[in-house]
Structure 1
C-alpha cells in the first residue's frame, strides 16, 4: 500500500486508488499518518477529530471508523491498526508514505550538494516531484494543519534551494519561468523574489529585476509594515550599479566553496521527538530576523546530542554559509572541560582564517570570530556544555541575523534562558511507543515479532532511557542467536544497573550518571541518594523535606541544584520526578555511602509524612470515622497543609500511585500497622473516585500481612476493611464472612464502636441485595451498639451518622415520616461536629423522603444541599446517585427539561466509573428517560 499525504490524503495499491471511506475515516487516517509507528491516545483522537467539540457519541463513532479502516487494511499483512491500551497504533512500512520518501531524497540531495551541485539537482527534483499540492490538502482539522504547514515549508525551502543551485550552474533561462511563478505564489517571501531578480538580471532584463524589487517593497510595506531584508536591499543596489559579480559568467558556484561543515553524521534510525523537532522548526521560521538561540537539556542518556545533530542535519541547507560543531566536554569521563578560547580558535581555523591572522588575545579572537559571522547565516551546535559561562563567548553577535546556535547540556542553562532569551527544550525519556520503535529499528522486526512479551520486558527495565535501550540493543545484536527472553532474564537477575554496563565509559549508564553526580554539593548528593528510597513516580517538596530531615526551604534549594544537574525534573511547581534508572543509581549510592541507621531513619520519616497527610486529608470529610490507634509522628516530619477538602482530593489524585506503593513499602519494612492505618484513611478517597477494585486488591494484601503480624485489634480492623471493600464489588458472601469475623474479634476486645461499624456494613450489603428487612435490623443494631459505647466526640458523631443511615432504611421500607425524623435528629449533631460526609447523605435521604410524600419543592431543596456538599467532597458516585434522584423528582414535578440536564450530568460522571454500582445507576437513568 502507498499512503500519500503530499497533497490530498489518498491511499493507493497496485497503481489504483483505494477508497478510504467517509470523511471521518479519512480524517482519522490522516491523524494516524501524522504519527505512524507511535501509539495515539484515544481521547486525543476524539478531541482532534471534532476540533475540541466532540458529540456524545464520539467514542462510538471513533470505534466504528477504526473498524472500517481495519477492513480496508485487512488484505495487507504489512499494514496494521492495533489497539494498545487506550491508544491506537498504525504500523506501516516507512517507505510506504510519500512524506518519508521526500525526506530521504531531500537528505541525499542536500548531502550531495556539498560535493557536486550538478549531481544534487536530479535528487532534489525527484523529491519535489512527489508533491501534488498542499500537504494533507483535503484535511481541515486543526490538529493536522500545523503539521501540514511544516511539511509545506520544508518543500518550499527545498524548491528554493534547488532553483538557487540551478541558477548558479548557469541554467538561467530554464528556471526563470519557475521562479516567476514561485514568487507570485508566495508574494511575501523574499527568497523567491531575490532569486527571480538575479535570474532576470542575468537574462538581460534589468528593468524587470528592478520592478520585481519594487513590487516586493510595496507588498511588504502594505501587508506587514516592514522593509525588505538587508540581503534583498543589497542585491537591489548591486543591480542598480550593474555590479560585475552579478554576471553569471563571472560567478563561480558558491556551493562548492570550502565552507565549514562540521556536523557529525546522524543516526539512521532516529525515532520520536516530534514535538521537540516541531519547536525547533517553528523557532527557525519565526526568528529569521535575529540570532536564534535554543537549549536542549535533559537527564544523562536521554538523547540530547542525537536530537541536536539530527535536527541540524535536516535544516543545514538553510545555512548556506556553513555549520560549526564542537563537543564542549562539560560532562565527560576525561574531566577535561573545553575552554571557550580553544573552541574559538578551532572555529576560526574552520572558517579558513590563516594561523598568522588569529590574534593572540582571547577577547580579540572572540571579536574576530563574531565579525566573520556578521552578515552570514550559520548553524552552530555547542554540544555537552557544562554551564552558561562556557557558552556565552561562542554565541554569534547581533550582526549574524538568521544564524542559529543550539546548546545541549545536562544543566538547565537557566542563565542563557534568562539573559540571552534562549528557547528551552527539555527532553524526557521515551514514551513506550518510541522506545519500542527504537528497539525494533536496532534489532529487527523479526526478533520483536517472535518474542513480543520478552521485548516488552526488556523495555520495562530500560524505563524509556534511549541510552539504556541502545546498550541492550547492541548487546542483543551482537548475539543474533540468543532469544530475547534470555536478555530479559539477564536484566531481571542483574543487580542495580549491572545490566547496562559497558567497557566504554560513554556507553555505560553508571559512568554517564556519575559525571553529573560528581558535580553536586555534598548536601545535594546526600539528598539525591536518599531519594532513591522513594517508591513513587514523583514526589512533593514536603515529602522531600521529611525524607531528608530538612526544612522546606533547605529542601527547595537542594532540589533546584538537582534539577539544574538534570538528576531530577520539576514536573509542576514543587513536584519532582527521578527517572527510574536514576532512582536505582541513587539507591546503589545510598547503600554504599549512607549508614543503615540513616537510611532507616529517612524511610521512617517518609512513611510518617504520608500517614499524617492521609489522616489530615480524611479528617476533612469524616473526622470521626472508626480507625485503629495510630502512633505519634516522629520528629522532622513536614506536614502537608489542606485548607479544604478539594485540596485533599487534589492531593490524593496526585499521590494515588505513590500512596499505594508507600503502603506496600511500609509492609516490606515491617511497619504493618502504619500501612493499615494509611490504607484505611485513604479508603474514602478510593470510594469517592470509584476505584473500588484497586481498594479491594490493596486490602486483600494488607489482611494477609495483618494475619502474620498477629495483633488482634489490627486483624479485626483489616477484616472489617476488606469485608466492606468486597461488598463494593458485589462479592457479598465473602464480604459478610469477613465482617462477621471482624465483629467477633471486636467483641473479644470490648470494642463497641468497631462492632457497631461491622453491623452497619452488614446492613449496607443486605441493602445492596434488596434484603431491606435485614438491612433495617442490622443498621438498628449498629445504632444501639454505638449508643452503648463510652460517650466521646467519636461515638456521638458516629451515632448521628448511623441514625441517618437508619433513616435511609426507613425510607426504603416506605416509612418516610420516620426517615425524616431520624435525619432531622442527626443533622444538627453532624453539623456541630463538621461531619460533612454523613450530613450530605442525611440531606439526600430527606430529599428522597420528601419526594415520596409528594413534597417536590422540599425534596429539591434537600437534594440541592446534598449535591453541593458532595461536590465539595469530590464524591463522584454519590453525586451521580443524587443527580439520578433529582432527575426523577423533576420528572414527577413536570419539569422534563431540568430532568434531562440532571441525567446528562449524571451520565458524564458515570462514564468515569467502572463498577456494578455505576451500571445500576445507568440502568436507572435509562428507565427514567423512558418515563420522561
Structure 2
C-alpha cells in the first residue's frame, strides 16, 4: 500500500490514505530524523543528538531501539518502507517522493530548471505549517530555519518567473504582503515596484521605492543596491525593456550532469562527510569551497563523489566534474586553460566563440555560472595554483576539490580543508564485508583480521584485496592472507592487475611530483624502525642539516607521504614504508640506518649518564656527522627517553636482526638506565636477554659479564630469583675479564638474597661490594653499598648500627648529588625509625623519600616506599591515607609486573579492614 510522510508541518504519515498512529513526540522525532536523510544511514549518536540533544536519557540507544520497533509495527502495512540497522547506523528505505520534504526539493529543482510555475505551485502546496513541528531540539530548529529559507527562496523564484511571464496581477497581493513583512528586503521591494508599474500604478511603484530608500538610509545609512536603483531609473524613463516578453525556458538538456559513478557504499567517513556538508551548505557570502586531502589510496575521490551524489538536490543547475590529473602517470597536470575550456563546454558555451586567452576564458566561465546553484568537482588537483582560476565568483555555486597535497593556499582563502586518515579496524572489516558478503567474512575471522592488519586501514589496499577475493569466490581468504603476511611480497599481493589498482603505481605518482632531495628523504625515512621519528633523528637519517630537513619534512607532510601527528614527530603509513624501503636499495638503507643508529646511540648515552650517573661510562665511536643534543637535567633526559622509547626498542630489534651485536649490547645498557626508574621491568628484561645473546656472539667476556649482571638484576626485579642467581653467578665466573663488574655482582647478589628473605646470606655480599667500591674510590657506588649494608643490618635487628651506617650513606649521597641512592637511603632510615618505635620520624623519612623519587620520576622505588608509608599511616591512625598509599603500591606493583609487592599491598588492605572513602 502506498505510504506518504509529511514533515512540512506536523510530523504525520498515512498508508493508503489512512492516518498512521506514530506515537508520542519523541518517537515521531526519531522518524523525522531518519526521514530527513531517507535511504542513508544515520548513526545512533546522530539520532540521539537529533532527538534529545543534551537531554538524552541514560540508555538513549536502548530507547531508540524501542521507538524504532514500535514504528516498524505502526508502518507494517506499508510494504515499500523498511527500517533497518547496519554498520553505518539506522536507515529508512522508502521512495524519496513519498516524503513531502524531498518531493518539495525535487519539484523546486525541476521548476527552476524548466521555468515552470505549475511545479513551483505543486511544491509550495506541500507546506502545511512550520516544518518539523514538535521537534524541539537544536537540530529540529535548524531544519525549520533551513527549510523556511528554502521555502522563501522558492516563493521569490516563483514570483520572478510569474513577472517574466506577465502575470503581475496574479502575484501582486502576495508580493505586497511579503513586502510589508520584510520592508528592508530589496529583492521583494523590486518585485513589488515592478508589479505595481506593470499594473499601471506607476505612482504607487515610485512611492514604494522612495519608502524603501528612506528606510535603508535610516537603518543602515545606505542607498538601495544597484538592481533596485536601476529599476527606479527605468521606471522614470519609461524604459520599454520593462515590458519585455516572457523569457523562454532553456531546454533541460543544457543542465550538466557530469559526475562519475559513486561508490555503492562508503564506510567509516561519517565525520568527514558531515564536515563537507557543513563547508558546502552553510550560508555565506563567498563561494563555499571544500578541499579533501589525504595520501594516495585513502579514498578522497570516493568521498567526494558519494557526497556529491547524495546532495544532487542542492544543485539543480547541474554538476560539473574535471579530473585535473595532478598526479597522473604522465607527470603532466592539466593546464588551467584546458580545464576552463572543459567547464565551458559542459555549460553549453559555443567552442567557436570562446576567447583565446586564459583571462577571457575565466571571465566567461564566471559569468555563465553567476547565480546558478552549481556544484563544481575538481578531482586530483596538484596544488592551489591549479585550482584558483577554476573557482566561480558566485556564492550560489559550491566547489569540491580532492588532492594528495594539503592545499593550504586554498585554506588561506577561506576554503575548508578536510583531511582523510586511514580507516579504523572496524570500518576496514565493514568494507570487506560489504564487498564479499558478511557470511564469507564471518567464516574466516582469523584471515580477515590479518588482511585488515596488513592493509593498515588504506581503502585502496582493502579494495584490491576485496577485488582479488571476489574474483576467486571459491578460494579461502587464508590464501590471500598468507600472500600478504610476508612484508617483502606484500606490495605484490596488493596488485589487482590494473594501473589504478596497483599500490606501487599509485604511490609512485605521488613520488614523481617530489623534487630530488625530498624524493631521497622519502626513500630514507622508510628505513627507520619504530612508529615515528623526531627532527634530530630525521636529520641524521637523511644526512641533512636541521633547517633543510625541516623544510623537506614539511614538503612530504604536505604531499601526504608523511604524517605529523604531533608537532615535531613524523610517521609513515606501513604500506608507504614498504614502498619507500623498496626504492631505497641495500646501500642507501645501510648508510641511512648507520647514521640514525649513531645519532640515537650517542643521544641515549648522554641521557643515560644523567639518569644513572653512578653507572660506568660506555665509550662509543665518534658519531658519523650526527648532531647530538644536550640535556639540561634529568627531567629533560627522561622526557627524551619517553618520546623515543618505542623507536629505540625497534632499533635494538633491527640491529639484532642484521647482526649488529655491539649496537644491541650498547642500546640495552643505555635503555636500562631509563627502564629501571620508569618501572619498565619486562622491557628491561627483554632488552637484556637480547644483550646476553649479542655479547655471546661478540665473544667479549667483559661485555658478557655486564650482560649477565644486568640480566640478573632484571630477573630479580620481576621476582624471577632463581634465574637471577644463575645470571649473577655466570657474571662472577667472568669477572676476571671485567674486574670492575665484581663489586656490582656482589651488591646485586646481596639484594637478590634480601628479596628472598635470606638476610644473613645477603650481608657478606653487601659488605664485599662496599670494600671493592672503596678500594676503587668509587664514591657513588660506595654510597649505594653503605645503604645496602645498613638495610641488611636493620633487617637482622642491628638497629643502632644500621642507623649509623645509613646516616653516613645519606650524607655521602647528598654531597655527591646521588638522588636515587638518597631516596633509597631515606627509605632505609624510615624503616629503621619504624622498627625503633618512632612512627613520626619514620613518616618524615618516608615522605622525604617520596619527594625525591617524584622529583626524579623514579616510579620503581616509589612502589616500596608507598607500601611502608601505608604501614606508618595505619599505625598513626590515619587510615584513609594508609588506604591511599597501599592502593598506590598495589597499582605500581601490577603495572611493573612485581607480583609479590602487589600481593603484599593487597594483604595490607585486606588485613587493615579500612572501608573505602573513610
Residue 407 (structure 1) aligns with? 401
Q: Which residue, out of 501, 508, 513, partners 2:507?
A: 513
Unaligned runs of 5+ in 2: 1-20, 27-39, 47-52, 70-83, 163-181
Residue 766 (structure 2) aligns with? 782
CA distance in 2, matches of 1:348, 1:71: 50
CA distance in 2, matches of 1:290, 1:101: 35
Residue 841 (structure 1) aligns with? 824
Q: Residues 579 and 896 from structure 1, CA distance in 2 versus in 1: closer, same or farther, beyond 3 angstroms? A: same
Cα contact 2:891–2:902 (8 A) shared by 1:
no
CA distance in 2, matches of 1:159, 1:244: 32
Q: Which residue, out of 655, 660, 664, partners 1:666?
A: 655
Q: Which residue, out of 581, 585, 588, partners 1:587?
A: 581
Residue 416 (structure 1) aligns with? 410
Deviation at 1:748, TM superposition (A): 6.0
The answer to whether residue 301 in structure 2 is matched with residue 314 in structure 1 is: no
Q: In the TM superposition, what whole-angstrom CA distance separates every residue of 1:430-475 from its partner, at most 9, and x where no partner exists?
A: 2222222212211111111000110111122211111111111111
Residue 26 (structure 1) aligns with? none
RMSD of aligned residue pairs (Cα, Å): 6.0
Q: Residues 233 and 288 from structure 1, CA distance in 2 versus in 1: closer, same or farther, beyond 3 angstroms? A: farther
- Provide the TM-score with structure 1 as the length reference: 0.74
The answer to whether residue 682 in structure 2 is matched with residue 693 in structure 1 is: yes
Residue 382 (structure 1) aligns with? 378
CA distance in 2, matches of 1:905, 1:229: 73
Deviation at 1:267, TM superposition (A): 1.1
Cα contact 2:530–2:646 (8 A) shared by 1:
yes
Residue 447 (structure 2) aligns with? 454
Count of residue correspondences: 853
Q: In the TM superposition, what whole-angstrom CA distance separates every residue of 1:878-906 from its partner, at most 9, and x where no partner exists?
A: 44554454455455445566667767877
Q: In the TM superposition, what whole-angstrom CA distance separates every residue of 1:224-258 from its partner, at most 9, and x where no partner exists?
A: x9999999999x999x99x99999x9899999684
Deviation at 1:764, TM superposition (A): 5.1
Deviation at 1:345, TM superposition (A): 1.9
Deviation at 1:332, TM superposition (A): 0.5
Secondary structure, aligned partner of 1:325 = strand
Q: Which residue, out of 530, 551, 556, partners 1:536?
A: 530
Q: Which residue, out of 753, 756, 770, partners 2:746?
A: 756
Q: Residues 453 and 292 from structure 1, CA distance in 2 versus in 1: closer, same or farther, beyond 3 angstroms? A: same
Secondary structure, aligned partner of 1:296 = strand
Deviation at 1:641, TM superposition (A): 3.6
The answer to whether residue 263 in structure 2 is matched with residue 274 in structure 1 is: no
Q: Residues 701 and 323 from structure 1, CA distance in 2 versus in 1: closer, same or farther, beyond 3 angstroms? A: same
Q: In the TM superposition, what whole-angstrom CA distance separates every residue of 1:568-619 from its partner, at most 9, and x where no partner exists?
A: 122222221111111111111111xxxx454323212212222223222222
CA distance in 2, matches of 1:229, 1:733: 94
Cα contact 2:598–2:624 (8 A) shared by 1:
no
Residue 921 (structure 1) aligns with? 905
Residue 470 (structure 2) aligns with? 477
Cα contact 1:102–1:127 (8 A) shared by 2:
no
Cα contact 1:37–1:437 (8 A) shared by 2:
no
Cα contact 2:754–2:792 (8 A) shared by 1:
no
Q: Residues 897 and 697 from structure 1, CA distance in 2 versus in 1: closer, same or farther, beyond 3 angstroms? A: closer
Deviation at 1:325, TM superposition (A): 2.4
Q: In the TM superposition, what whole-angstrom CA distance separates every residue of 1:517-560 from its partner, at most 9, and x where no partner exists?
A: 12222222222212221111211111111112332223222222
Secondary structure, aligned partner of 1:720 = helix
Residue 845 (structure 2) aligns with? 862
The answer to whether residue 482 in structure 2 is matched with residue 489 in structure 1 is: yes
Deviation at 1:484, TM superposition (A): 0.3
Residue 465 (structure 1) aligns with? 458
Secondary structure, aligned partner of 1:497 = helix
The answer to whether residue 806 in structure 2 is matched with residue 823 in structure 1 is: yes
Cα contact 1:333–1:506 (8 A) shared by 2:
no
Q: In the TM superposition, what whole-angstrom CA distance separates every residue of 1:784-805 from its partner, at most 9, and x where no partner exists?
A: 2243147557x32122123224
Q: Residues 680 and 587 from structure 1, CA distance in 2 versus in 1: closer, same or farther, beyond 3 angstroms? A: same
Q: In the TM superposition, what whole-angstrom CA distance separates every residue of 1:303-323 from its partner, at most 9, and x where no partner exists?
A: 222222233333443344443
Residue 4 (structure 2) aligns with? none
Deviation at 1:733, TM superposition (A): 2.8
Residue 564 (structure 2) aligns with? 570
Cα contact 1:263–1:323 (8 A) shared by 2:
yes
Secondary structure, aligned partner of 1:468 = helix
State how 1:876-895 maps to structure 2 within 5 Å.
Answer: 876-879=859-862, 881-883=864-866, 885-886=868-869, 888-893=871-876
CA distance in 1, matches of 2:360, 2:376: 20
Cα contact 1:121–1:162 (8 A) shared by 2:
no
Q: In the TM superposition, what whole-angstrom CA distance separates every residue of 1:619-648 from its partner, at most 9, and x where no partner exists?
A: 222122358x44324321232443333333
The answer to whether residue 591 in structure 2 is matched with residue 601 in structure 1 is: yes
Q: Residues 901 and 918 from structure 1, CA distance in 2 versus in 1: closer, same or farther, beyond 3 angstroms? A: closer
Q: Residues 406 and 651 from structure 1, CA distance in 2 versus in 1: closer, same or farther, beyond 3 angstroms? A: farther
Secondary structure, aligned partner of 1:464 = coil
Q: Which residue, out of 325, 329, 348, partners 2:325?
A: 329
State how 1:611-622 maps to structure 2 within 5 Å.
Answer: 611-622=601-612
Unaligned runs of 5+ in 1: 1-14, 21-33, 41-47, 52-61, 76-89, 139-144, 171-186
CA distance in 1, matches of 2:893, 2:489: 45
Cα contact 2:719–2:898 (8 A) shared by 1:
no
CA distance in 2, matches of 1:151, 1:914: 56
CA distance in 2, matches of 1:134, 1:454: 50
State how 1:320-359 maps to structure 2 within 5 Å.
Answer: 320-359=316-355
Cα contact 1:325–1:382 (8 A) shared by 2:
yes
Deviation at 1:566, TM superposition (A): 2.1
The answer to which of 493-502 and 160-169 deviates more is 160-169
Q: In the TM superposition, what whole-angstrom CA distance separates every residue of 1:270-329 from its partner, at most 9, and x where no partner exists?
A: 111333233333334656232333332222111222222233333443344443321111
Residue 30 (structure 1) aligns with? none
CA distance in 1, matches of 2:241, 2:874: 87
CA distance in 2, matches of 1:159, 1:613: 67
- Provide the TM-score with structure 2 as the length reference: 0.75
Secondary structure, aligned partner of 2:489 = coil
Structure number, greater radius of gyration: 2
Cα contact 1:695–1:725 (8 A) shared by 2:
yes
Cα contact 1:540–1:575 (8 A) shared by 2:
yes
CA distance in 1, matches of 2:863, 2:447: 43
CA distance in 2, matches of 1:654, 1:874: 15
Q: Residues 913 and 324 from structure 1, CA distance in 2 versus in 1: closer, same or farther, beyond 3 angstroms? A: farther
Cα contact 1:760–1:802 (8 A) shared by 2:
no
Secondary structure, aligned partner of 1:359 = coil
Cα contact 2:258–2:321 (8 A) shared by 1:
yes
Residue 434 (structure 2) aligns with? 441
Cα contact 2:866–2:888 (8 A) shared by 1:
yes
Residue 547 (structure 1) aligns with? 541
Deviation at 1:505, TM superposition (A): 1.7
CA distance in 1, matches of 2:907, 2:552: 54
Residue 290 (structure 2) aligns with? 294
Secondary structure, aligned partner of 2:343 = helix
CA distance in 2, matches of 1:739, 1:488: 45
Cα contact 1:723–1:737 (8 A) shared by 2:
yes
Deviation at 1:357, TM superposition (A): 4.5
Residue 729 (structure 2) aligns with? 740
Q: Residues 111 and 339 from structure 1, CA distance in 2 versus in 1: closer, same or farther, beyond 3 angstroms? A: farther
Q: In the TM superposition, what whole-angstrom CA distance separates every residue of 1:10-55 from its partner, at most 9, and x where no partner exists?
A: xxxxx9999x9xxxxxxxxxxxxx9999999xxxxxxx9999xxxx
Cα contact 2:791–2:802 (8 A) shared by 1:
yes
CA distance in 1, matches of 2:435, 2:765: 68
Q: In the TM superposition, what whole-angstrom CA distance separates every residue of 1:483-530 from its partner, at most 9, and x where no partner exists?
A: 100111122356251112244222211111111212222222222212
Cα contact 1:823–1:845 (8 A) shared by 2:
yes
Q: Residues 314 and 514 from structure 1, CA distance in 2 versus in 1: closer, same or farther, beyond 3 angstroms? A: same
Cα contact 1:663–1:675 (8 A) shared by 2:
yes
Q: Residues 758 and 911 from structure 1, CA distance in 2 versus in 1: closer, same or farther, beyond 3 angstroms? A: closer
Q: Residues 69 and 289 from structure 1, CA distance in 2 versus in 1: closer, same or farther, beyond 3 angstroms? A: closer
